[in-house]
Chains A and B, each alone.
Chain A
Amino acid sequence: MPATLCIDELSVSFAHRTGTVEAVDGVSLRIGPAECVGVVGESGSGKTQLFLAVMGLAGNARVRGSVRFEGKELLGATAPAINRVRGSKLTMIFQDPMTSLTPHLRIGTQLAEVLVCHSGLSWAEARDVAGRMLERVRIPEPQRRLGQYPHELSGGMRQRVMLAMSLLCGPALVIADEPTTALDVTIQAQIIELLRAMRGEAGTALALISHDLAVVAGLADRILVMYAGRIVENAVAAELFRQPRHPYTAELLKCVPSLSGPRLARLPTLAGQPPQPGDALQACPFAPRCPRAADRCRTERPLLTGASTSQVACHFPLS
């Protein structure tokens, strides 16, 4: 089966006064049709930069490597070629719905504009489609909402609008960058439910970026764990939670508080700090915090090895 998104050796680096900072350091990954891949990692692990680079939104960062979407190379493609794909077949939902809608345009206009741009519909037809899409993301009174401005909608409502916008042209892949972080917990659950339903109905592939393991656990088929700009583990979701192989994943899972277990006086945390931009990295960036680190981890870079559904970048993986 050909991959929907195929990233090879992608690096994103920023010029910094102390030299270049590698926000993403040689990442390769594949997302198949209708597959949901969760990408987890701490703040600064490069998970957002990775997908911004895929969307061509990396700004003034230097992007190297290859990003193929449905077989077509996106890096270095012309702006019109990218814009044909972007927003129709490849869409993105951002973290903060409060600021992701243009404040002076009505909801209906913003949604319709995407269709007018990509599908060549007339404004009237596009508004109809937009109204039906709002209904699909379970927004009450969709016709009234079309005429409203973003500030008249709540955060959860706006995130639904963003979701509707991303689904308008029947995308092959939706990238959701922490779609629930800015929302409160009950709304979070509704959005997750909606994402799940959307996958079931439309067969859209989903890249779900999050630092919240619980969000990812409920949705993803496969999970990628990122640390310091690299993928350190790639595993089927259930396997990852049952038997993590990278020490970092294992430590992360220990930090998740349990509802049923004994009440702990103090939540376990990872010792040490994640590397800061500009820090000199060891061959394995996790080595300074790793309970299993040995000399080899400081001299030889661990590569991501193993079958495509169970990969780990560690010299001494857990088994």
Chain B
Amino acid sequence: MRGFAGDAIRRLRANPAAVLALGVICTVVVATLLGPWLNPNNTETLDWLHVAARPGLQNAHWFGTDRLGRDLYARTLAGTRVSIAIGLVASILSILVGVSYGAISGYLGGRTDQAMMRIIEILSGLPLIFFVIFLTVIFGRSESLLFISIGAVGWLTMARIVRGQTLSIRQQDYIAAAVASGASSSRIIARHVVPNVIGPVIVYATLTVPQIILFESFLSFLGLGIQEPGASLGTLIAEGVGEMEAAPWMLLVPGSFLAVLLLCLNIFGDGLRDALDVREG
């Protein structure tokens, strides 16, 4: 393989921490998808014989159970899956909205740019927690609302980054050449500007996923996110905190899943940034 992407992959491979982090992320993702079939318990069955059981192999509750007797292994994997899904969906949403908004704003420039940037400043001035609380109060709690409220704020920084990149790309000769060859503004943005900002977009997106996972966990921890009987890492940790002294595994199992996942996503994002940033390479 040759070219920019090939070089970037080669540089990424030379970074053992990033490769390891990617391996862990893949393992966790595969585990959340396949895990439920490896275990006889499901997320909602109450096992009255083993309430708040310790982790162990003897009774098929490998990570133990919570105080209702539900299997922590099944619930943690399900929660991780929900957290990752929210992280991915909200990131994709923020990429779609942020990239098009930023590229249009930066390319058109002038008053349009000023107006579009002021809108972003107003939106980013909103205190996010209050924003989410207002939305939940008005529309009631729902998962789709959670996606929307996180996505509504996630694209702001992405739009700023893309606009900044677009401003410098707009000055390039090949953009003038594209204009001179009669391409319309929309075609230039789609084919000559956006593909050129893809590097920083990928890097920022990989760093957005853990941010959003953390934010979702935070909301769920406060009781604003995923609701019972569903689970995300945040709700599991919130439950675990209540039993911290009597049954520490209820906090430690989802807590360590969250910590390892976030750590690996961040290490991988950093590795990706180093691989794509030619100036430092």
Flag A37-61 by CB within 8 Å of B: 1 or 0 each: 0000000000000000001110010
A113 near B177 (CB under 8 angstroms)? Answer: no
Q: Which residues of chain A are within 8 angstroms of B3 by Cβ–Cβ distance?
A: 149
Flag A135-157 by CB within 8 Å of B: 1 or 0 each: 00000000000000100000000
Question: In chain B between 136 and 192, which residues have their CB closer than 8 angstroms to a CB of chain A?
Answer: 172-174, 176-185, 187, 191-192
The answer, among A79, A94, A104, A149, for a CB contact under 8 Å with B177, is A94
The answer, among A80, A83, A103, for a CB contact under 8 Å with B196, is A103
Q: Which residues of chain B are within 8 angstroms of A105 by Cβ–Cβ distance?
A: 191-192, 195
B191 near A113 (CB under 8 angstroms)? Answer: yes
Q: Is A240 an interface residue (CB 8 A)?
A: no
Instruction: Jot down 6 A-B pairs with beta carbons below 8 A, ordered by A.
Output: A57-B179, A82-B182, A87-B181, A101-B174, A102-B192, A166-B181
A86 near B181 (CB under 8 angstroms)? Answer: yes
The answer, among B4, B176, B195, for a CB contact under 8 Å with A94, is B176
Q: Which residues of chain B are within 8 angstroms of A99 by Cβ–Cβ distance?
A: 172-174
B residues with a Cβ closer than 8 A to A are: 3-4, 110, 172-174, 176-185, 187, 191-192, 195-196
Q: Is A96 an interface residue (CB 8 A)?
A: yes
Q: Which residues of chain B are within 8 angstroms of A100 by Cβ–Cβ distance?
A: 173-174, 176-177
Q: Which 4 A-B residue pairings sit nearest by Cβ, starting from the closest? A: A87-B182, A87-B181, A86-B182, A99-B173
A91-B181, A92-B177, A101-B174 are known contacts; what are 10 more A-B pairs with Cβ within 8 Å?
A87-B181, A87-B183, A102-B178, A104-B195, A104-B196, A105-B195, A113-B183, A113-B191, A117-B181, A165-B181
CB distance from B179 to the nearest CB of A (A): 6
> Inter-chain contact count A-B, CB under 8 Å?
70
Q: Which residues of chain A are within 8 angstroms of B177 by Cβ–Cβ distance?
A: 92, 94, 100-102, 162
A interface size (C-beta, 8 A)? 32
Decide yes or no: A114 and B181 within 8 Å by CB, A99-B172, A100-B173, A104-B4 being known contacts: yes
Q: Is A64 an interface residue (CB 8 A)?
A: no
Q: Which residues of chain B are within 8 angstroms of A94 by Cβ–Cβ distance?
A: 173, 176-177, 180
* Chain A: CB-nearest residue to B183: A117
* Chain A: CB-nearest residue to B169: A102
CB distance from A106 to the nearest CB of B (A): 10
